[in-house]
A and B are shown apart, each in its own frame.
Chain A
Amino acid sequence: MSAAPTDPGLATRFGSGHAVRRVEDPALVQGRGQFADDVSLPGQTWLAFVRSDRAHARIVAIDTAAAAALPGVLKVFTGAELRAAGVQPIALPAASGFKRADGQPANAPPKQPLAVDVVRFVGEPVVAVVAESRAAARAAASAVWVDYEDLPAVTGLDAALAPGAPEVWPGAPGNVLAEARFGDAAATEAAFVRAAHRVSVEIDNQRLAPSPMEPRSVVAYVEGDRLTMRLSSQMPTGVRTSLAAALPGRTADNVRVLVGDVGGGFGMKTGIYPEDVVVGWAALATGRPVKWQAERLEEFTSGVHGRDAVSRAELALDANGRVLALRVRTWANVGACPAPVSLVIPLVIGPWVVTSIYDVPRISLHLSCVLTHQMATGAYRGAGRPENVYLIERLMDAAAREMQLDPAELRRRNMIRPEQMPYTNAMAQVYDSGRFEQILDRGLVLADWAGFEARRAESHARGRLRGRGIATFLEWTGGNALEENVRVDVTAEGFIEISSATMAMGQGIATSYVQLAHDVFGVPLERIRVLQGDTDRANGFGSAGSRSLFTGGGAVHVASVRTIDEATKLAGAALEASAVDIEYRAGRFGVVGTDVGIGLFELAARQPGERIVVSGTAKAGGPSWPNGCHVCEVEIDADTGAVEVVAYASVNDIGRVISPAIVRGQVEGGAVQGIGQALSERVTYDAGSGQLLSASFMDYALPRVDGFRAFKTEFDESVPCLTNVLGAKGVGELGTIGATPAVVNAVIDALAAAGLGREAERVQMPLTAEAVWRALKREFPSVLPRDAA
């Protein structure tokens, strides 16, 4: 590589816009990653939790004597002991600013690190045991005796909203924790009255388990006065802040959070968990390093769940198929101990995209968050956008079927036009850019939309039902955290170090940052290192909401350019030349018109501390609005109801593409997660007991390798984002958001064509063979809460 730095062609082969080998991969394919559970420390102890096996019960007594007497057991903690020691509950919804219907602040049970007095969902941590080995900790946990007095539990919206239902919390009368209304109900009603066409759908957007393959894991240890927590998180700084708030005597200064490789996040690893607080406390209390790794069962019971909202959604259209109004009534099941984000997703973020790419003049939304004796919901890939895009895309298909129009044509008639940009939607969200009809047109070609009837006939000839579904949509990205700062260190050892508070979790962000820095520095990729996951080095929002590239990547660009500017001045001094005569190219500063020069790293060696340190901040002017046209075709075995995805084409506008292979992987891998929701995944609690029935990978059906893989995926780079320095739009969640409605619309299309007509729209996810088989027999689940207004 010795010649590479001066090769002028280098930047065009390895920089942005080119597929490169990921910098993350050599370690990961050799098993040399550093996931949280891979770190063990001398003198390390192990922690195990005793968890509630009841959905709702009063804790009468806890007997820890037998556990404490077992060999190797160091400490046994209860919630009462933690509370007495001053450990605080985490993340109260009361602090989130939401209101109940009666105007009172939203108020839910405090999220205790270990349950105090009452348990409110199966899997809630009750007791923690610290022992010399994992086996000893587990054995002791099973020797703890908790005496419960069962209390009546509500599982699911139907039970929670029934008249006289047991209340999860006195602060949420009728179990309704918070409400929000948006739009103009009267004007919407008037539009429905005069509409030529009205369609309505009832939808259960079922509860999902995010299921990153790496379970949560925490190692905590104390050095001097400092508590260090090594864990798997998308948001190290947020975890530090929450830990400092929960643990007595802890501040941001004496808590350090370290994150190594993250084995998938998908939103589930965005916030602090009660278990994190307990492990931190255990390290402080024992003075020994403490490790806990969640078992998969614990991830299913007490890792945050996603989605879980039931809606009735209605669309009013004029005779030409132009949408006049959208009306939505939604109940979101947020579980027993929600965090603020549990409410933000259904009440704020989701509604922002409910009108999607369509010019919808008026809306009326009525949204409720409902407490149940279930695990809390939180961020899962898309977080509110999948639910709302699903609503509008289902309605578009329903309206097209009602009006006997091509569903693509109906969408086209309602799309926001490029000349309407910047466009303010009915939720006051401003789209900077988007050429939705152009994306649709390309999508229809890629999917061979026109050739579908021939394929359907061919499938029928083989005895299979065939359907086609489309989703044209956008989504909101950025996490409302649009500013990002990075530090660049140019070192004498010959490396450019980029320190960022964003987190790698499989999305290849380090590779994309390296490419962006390479664009500016022109040095070989292996000379550029990305340093993340250390709150002593960088602090910020973290990685969520598909924000990292267009905020953090923007900061990488800005800081890199600033570094060259600053280094040019230093080079001028070193070369005794005016800075205006200094030219930088590919790792070297030269004096124009001479052969006098100095290497970037040599220049760094001459500086105090033998490095050049420059920080840079980029602030995007708004969210980015990636969008796409996803078209899916399915075949159904009418005898069994089994659904098979047989074609999937998508055209995606994610603005400027930095790393082509990575974004393709994001869209296609994301689409498989969306297919998982459409066809197989559902978190299921037993309605009577509140027991979690889908508590292992035997019961919770993740997509497997035998599913669909033959994606046709294209990117249209002609519509850059106008509000960030890169022109990029977030890509991490796009595929998941588009796939679910595209697949379900395809299944409904097949069923409708098989004679069910619009009745097919009553089918509910996941579209398992049983659900589809029953639909073919016109058996459909009811989804709206029976007694809800």
Chain B
Amino acid sequence: MPTLSFKLNGQPVSAEVENPTLLVDLLRTQLGLTGTHIGCDTAQCGCCTVMIDGLAVKSCSQLAMQAAGRDVTTIEGLAGEGGRLHPVQEAFVACHGLQCGYCTPGMVMSAVALLAHNARPSEAEIVDALEGNLCRCTGYVNIVAAVQQAAATMAAGSAKASHPAEAAR
């Protein structure tokens, strides 16, 4: 069985995987990271979205071996020290951006990937980024609102962090 090495949520990992194993199955079944969900079998729902090298990827559409040498982030890798929620997670809670929570990890990962590349997306850009993620509960109303709020929070945070007084410390 081939051995696969990659970076997962900031930590190096190695795993022996059968060649046809999908990344989502490696994460969920072998590595026990069950926050990445499976909602369909045609790469349509986006519940399994993770970030690979900073890009949102549906982990059901990648072989695990394709992650070799890459930097993979799952929903479990977002929260900061002491379990402090990532601003996107925080905004989903604050805006009631989730109901059953099954699509939520994928939605959050898509949103985090968007904001990493586009700090102040327009509503249309948010919609475009979430087009591959299905939600049956919320009607997407509060999901888009949550991403907008997260963008504002993160922009304010980074503005603060880059303030000369902050930078000098």
Contacts and interface: CB of A to CB of B under 8 A. Distances in A.
B143 interface: yes
Nearest to A697: B44
B134 A29 contact: no
A53 interface: no
A208 to B, nearest CB: 12
A508 interface: yes
Determine which residue in B40, B103, B131 has the highest number of CB atoms from chain A within 10 A of its CB, and name it.
Answer: B40
A665 interface: yes
A705 B33 contact: no
A514 to B, nearest CB: 15
A671 B131 contact: no
A633 interface: no
Contact of B144 (A29, A31, A297, A709): A709
A22 interface: yes
B147 to A, nearest CB: 10
Determine which residue in A25, A266, A508 has the highest number of CB atoms from chain B within 10 A of its CB, and name it.
Answer: A25
A672 interface: yes
A213 B39 contact: yes
B127 A213 contact: no
B40 A296 contact: yes
B99 A508 contact: yes
Given A26-B85, A31-B74, A702 B99 contact: no
B116 interface: no
B143 A35 contact: no
Interface residues of A, number: 57
B101 A24 contact: yes
Interface stretch (B63-71, B75-83, B161-169): B75-83
B134 A704 contact: yes
Contacts of B18: 135
A212 B131 contact: no
A507 interface: yes
Given A215-B38, A665-B99, A709-B139, A296 B133 contact: no
A263 B40 contact: no
Nearest to B42: A696
B101 A212 contact: no
A471 B82 CA distance: 50
Contacts of B56: none
Contacts of A30: 35, 75-76, 78-79, 83, 85, 89
Contact of B98 (A29, A37, A135, A671): A29
Nearest to B32: A40
A29 B41 contact: no
Interface string B30-74: 001111111111101101000000000000000000000000001
A213 B143 contact: no
B92 interface: yes
Contacts of B10: none
Interface in A188-202: none
B144 A506 contact: no
Interface string A587-606: 00000000000000000000
Determine which residue in B42, B85, B92 has the highest number of CB atoms from chain A within 10 A of its CB, and name it.
Answer: B42
A263 B140 contact: no
A673 interface: yes
Contacts of B76: 30-32
A703 interface: yes
A211 interface: yes
A292 to B, nearest CB: 13
Given A213-B102, A673-B136, A297 B41 contact: yes
Contact of A706 (B41, B83, B131, B137): B131
A705 B127 contact: yes
A669 interface: yes
Interface string B117-145: 00000000001001101111111111110
Contacts of A135: 18, 20
A175 B90 CA distance: 54
A161 to B, nearest CB: 33
A748 interface: no
Nearest to B105: A31
B129 to A, nearest CB: 9
Interface string A749-784: 000000000000000000000000000000000000
Given A697-B40, A706-B127, A709-B144, A29 B100 contact: no
A746 B115 CA distance: 37
A707 interface: yes
A30 B135 CA distance: 17
B154 interface: no
B93 A264 contact: no
B34 A38 contact: yes
Contacts of A669: 99, 137-139, 141
A670 B89 CA distance: 23
Interface string A1-44: 00000000000000000010110111011111101011010000
A25 B134 contact: no
Contacts of A214: 37, 39, 100, 102
A29 B131 contact: no
A696 B92 contact: no
Contacts of B36: 31
A282 interface: no
A575 interface: no
B155 interface: no
A263 B102 CA distance: 5
B141 A711 contact: yes
A262 interface: yes
Contacts of A293: 38
A261 interface: yes
B131 A33 contact: no
Contacts of B131: 704-706
B160 interface: no
A379 interface: no
Interface in B8-32: 18, 20, 25, 28-29, 32
B104 A28 contact: yes
Nearest to A661: B96
A325 B92 CA distance: 49
A706 B98 CA distance: 17
B156 interface: no
A253 interface: no
B42 A698 contact: yes
Given A261-B100, A506-B99, A696 B40 contact: yes
B101 A263 contact: yes
A213 B98 contact: no
A264 B140 contact: no
A139 B45 CA distance: 25
Interface in A221-265: 261-264
A29 B92 contact: yes
Given A135-B18, A213-B100, A706-B131, A665 B138 contact: yes
A149 interface: no
Contact of B100 (A264, A671, A672, A706): A264
B139 A261 contact: no
A662 interface: yes
A696 B33 CA distance: 26
B128 to A, nearest CB: 8
A264 B102 contact: yes
Contact of A665 (B47, B79, B96, B127): B96
A657 to B, nearest CB: 14
Interface string A26-69: 10111111010110100000000000000000000000000000
24 contacts: A22-B93, A24-B101, A28-B104, A29-B89, A30-B78, A30-B83, A31-B33, A31-B36, A33-B101, A212-B100, A213-B100, A213-B134, A213-B135, A214-B39, A214-B102, A296-B39, A506-B137, A665-B96, A665-B137, A668-B138, A669-B141, A697-B134, A702-B134, A709-B144
Interface of A: 19, 21-22, 24-26, 28-33, 35, 37-38, 40, 134-135, 211-215, 261-264, 266, 293, 295-297, 505-508, 661-662, 664-665, 668-673, 696-698, 702-707, 709, 711
| Interchain residue pairs A-B with the least CB separation, the first 8 | A31-B35, A506-B100, A263-B102, A672-B139, A28-B101, A31-B75, A697-B44, A506-B99
